[in-house]
Amino acid sequence: MGLLNDRQSQLLIDGKLVAGNAGTFPTVNPATEEVLGVAADASTDDMGRAIEAARRAFDDTDWSTNTELRVRCLRQLQEALTKHVEELREITIAEVGAPVMLTSMAQLEGPIADLSFCADTAESYQWTTDAGIASPMGIKTKRTIAREAVGVVGAITPWNFPHQINLAKLGPALAAGNTIVLKPAPDTPWCAAVLGELISEHTDIPAGVVNIITSSDHAVGALLSKDPRVDMVSFTGSTNTGRAVMADGSATLKKVFLELGGKSAFLVLDDADLAGACSMSAFTASMHAGQGCAITTRLVVPRARYDEAVGAAAATMGSIKPGDPTDPGTVCGPLISSRQRNRVQEYLDSATAEGGTFACGGGRPADRDTGYFIEPTVIAGLDNNAKVAREEIFGPVLTVIAHDGDDDAVRIANDSPYGLSGTVFSADEERAAGIAARMRVGTVNVNGGVWYSADMPFGGYKQSGIGREMGLAGFEEYLETKAIATAKN
């Protein structure tokens, strides 16, 4: 791994670090708008070679059946990532704009630690199950259920939590015996490319098992969904792009995993500590500039205490100033790009156009002339039909919505095309649990509980996706099921 100020990352294809046939493209520091360096820009031919290498490695080597090798390689990768964690931290802060405080959690150190779960699961997994002897149609038969790797996996990942999402796909896919082609977002190519360097230099992963393709052209990644040599696509990103991935994959009926958007609700019941709950909601919505699919961006509060709730949220959110991600005290860093900042600003403009008001924030910080910053913003005066309440903004924006009791709060939470996450706060844990059970979402935080963990499944209902990532369920997404029936005398 080179130093941050002289990096020129490469592709990993068939075990070799190589240049991209389309040249290079820049990667930019979103906090300073400065070009950090360049990444290899892959062509469609490069992607074709990567897919072919993954296909050959799956078909012609023992990778899919050699569990001992896979476990050893995953532990080697984890060791290499741990050894180089400070270099990785520097890259992550600079390229992603992630506040340094988050790199000790889900932005870096957490995902590295989570690789242990993948290796441990592969090591202890029951790959075959004896289903016993029966006599279907009068034929005495011994039945066995086998779990096997899907094959070649195409992984397409976003820019907001690149290490977490790259490793949440790479780890279980490899542990399950698959080969993989990873195509990261063009906004954060280095975070993926460094994996290629570490795999090449510090692990025994055979050539072709892992291929990493960085490209400025989204069409290069789309080839993974279309190519018949790819058996499965694992995609994390926007719902609109997820639809395109699913449509492209339908031509070959390949397996598709989708982790998509969210517009999650934070429900505060009438017996809850209103100020404490609203403050937590505001803090959560500000972290990493709100660039998280599972962040609760609709704060749903009792109508009788609406103004008090808005004030409590604004007091917290207004005190969080967008800042330098290298500062240990920064919670809210920059958005990833000028394109994303402009998109968030358009949503804020739509809120005022629909009659909403800003209790705090509402635009670019006055003291930030450079960097893609937006002030943490609390929107008041709108209901659940407003554009900012319906659509995923991906910025530090919290919309406060009034409810008229528990049933209405649940109705508002579920009145969304998404179903990724949710939160419930109540002084009565049993009451909160009843509300959580009625929410049509994949994860629920009750009174501040944390659902993020290597052994817990993550994913959503409705248009938030298909399937689960992480946990045993996430590992088994990368497996096929085979029934073997042997006639017995």
| Residues 60, 22 share a domain | yes
Task: Report if residue 189 sits inside a domain.
Answer: yes
| Residues 355, 241 share a domain | no
Q: What is the pLDDT of residues 218-244, one digit of tens each?
A: 999 999 999 999 999 999 999 999 999
Token digits of residue 198 = 């570490």
Task: Report if residue 269 sits inside a domain.
Answer: yes
- Please name the residue that has the structure tokens 């005190």: 319
Taken in order 243, 170, 159, 194, is the CA torsion positive or negative?
A: negative
| Residues 243, 303 share a domain | no
Cα gap 214→489, rounded to integer Å: 56
Residues 6+ apart with CB under 8 A from 3: none
| Residues 273, 255 share a domain | no
Task: Report if residue 340 sits inside a domain.
Answer: yes
| Residues 372, 228 share a domain | no
On the 0-12 / 13-18 / 19+ scale of CB atoms within 10 A, 364 is middle
Residue 7 pLDDT: 83
| Residues 137, 58 share a domain | yes
| Residues 468, 327 share a domain | no
Cα gap 328→102, rounded to integer Å: 9
Task: Report if residue 456 sits inside a domain.
Answer: no
| CATH code, domain with 307 | 3.40.309.10
Cα gap 9→298, rounded to integer Å: 39
| Residues 304, 254 share a domain | no
φ, ψ of residue 337 in degrees (nearest 5): -160, 165
Task: Report if residue 41 sits inside a domain.
Answer: yes
| Residues 357, 238 share a domain | no
Do strands 16-18 and 11-13 pair parallel, antiparallel, or not at all (unpaired)? antiparallel
The sheet with strand 210-212 has its strands ordered as 16-18, 11-13, 210-212, 179-183, 152-156, 232-236, 255-259, 465-466
On the 0-12 / 13-18 / 19+ scale of CB atoms within 10 A, 4 is middle
**Total domains in the fold of the chain:** 2
| Residues 406, 475 share a domain | no
Q: Can 259 be counted among the known catalytic residues?
A: yes
Task: Report if residue 451 sits inside a domain.
Answer: no
Nearest to 117 by CA among 455, 450, 452: 455
| Residues 218, 324 share a domain | no
Kindly compute the dihedral angle of the four CA atoms of residues 203, 102, 170, 483, in this order, to the nearest 10 degrees.
Answer: 130
Task: Report if residue 402 sits inside a domain.
Answer: yes
User: Are the C-beta atoms of 165 and 157 separated by less than 8 Å?
Assistant: yes
User: What are the angstrom distances between the C-alpha of 217 and each of 228, 258, 353?
Assistant: 20, 21, 35
> Among residues 52, 95, 109, 259, which one is catalytic?
259
Mean of all residue pLDDT scores within the chain: 97
φ/ψ bin of 23: left (φ > 0), alpha (ψ from -120 to 50), beta (otherwise): left
Residue 472 pLDDT: 98
Task: Report if residue 2 sits inside a domain.
Answer: no
Residue 1 pLDDT: 57
| CATH code, domain with 31 | 3.40.605.10
- Which ranges of the chain have pLDDT less than 70? 1-5
Supply the range of the domain harboring residue 343: 265-446
| Residues 243, 272 share a domain | no
Other C-beta atoms closer than 10 Å to the C-beta of 386 total: 20
